[in-house]
Amino acid sequence: MRGEYQFDDSVRFARRLGWAITGLILLLVVLALAWKIGQVSEQRALQATREHLSSSLSNLIAEQVAKNQVVDPAWRSTNPFVLLRWQQDNYCGEWRGTEELERGCWYWLPQHAWILYRQRFTDEWANQVREARAWRLLAVPADLPTASHSEGAGFALELEEISAADVSAAGY
């Protein structure tokens, strides 16, 4: 009779252990899916912000040209979040290098004239996705026209992504 109780306890323990392991595996699968959903969502938001910033800069320059105003060449190295009439909710300001970059934030790096975004959902341990992405303001055309017939001509500001090697070399 005592042997039966031990057998029943062993079976109960094995069942509980099996359910616990199954629950742990399911929890890990759900967490992995949630992480991947977060990564995809962040990538889409990053792309939308970049496109919105780029088109807003183009609209701002077109507005200046339409008013027959000379577009200031200093805009090439000016914080675009300050130039525009809006700021992202996740714009964390100018970064001087003294504090740690906050995840999920956009920054302006005045020393390089770069826009920087530190990703929130990365696979740092797998080294598959870089943590920080940066863009520089690129004036198109690169050289402002100097001919007399093009006085006051404008240019367009576009965002050019900076290579991962350059971002890493700069320490971001």
Closest CA to 32 of 123, 129, 124, 120: 123
Written as tens digits, the pLDDT of the chain (172 aa) is 555 667 788 889 999 999 999 999 999 999 999 989 998 999 898 898 888 888 888 888 888 888 887 777 777 778 888 877 777 788 888 887 777 888 889 998 888 888 889 888 776 655 544 578 888 887 776 554 554 444 445 567 778 888 877 777 777 6
Give domain status of residue 5, yes or no.
Answer: no
Number of domains in the chain: 1
Give domain status of residue 103, yes or no.
Answer: yes
Give domain status of residue 162, yes or no.
Answer: yes
Q: What is the pLDDT of residue 23?
A: 97
Q: What is the pLDDT of residue 150?
A: 47
Question: Do β-strands 114-118 and 156-161 pair in parallel, antiparallel, or remain unpaired?
Answer: unpaired
Give domain status of residue 22, yes or no.
Answer: no
Q: What is the pLDDT of residue 143?
A: 54
Q: What is the pLDDT of residue 71?
A: 74
Q: Residue 90 belongs to what domain range? A: 49-169
Could you tell me the two tokens for 171?
A: 């320490």
Q: What is the pLDDT of residue 152?
A: 47
- pTM higher than 0.75: no
Give domain status of residue 13, yes or no.
Answer: no
Give domain status of residue 39, yes or no.
Answer: no
Q: What is the pLDDT of residue 147?
A: 46
Give domain status of residue 164, yes or no.
Answer: yes
User: Position 44: which residue type?
Assistant: R
CA distances (Å), origin 7, targets 1, 18, 21, 46, 130: 10, 16, 21, 58, 54
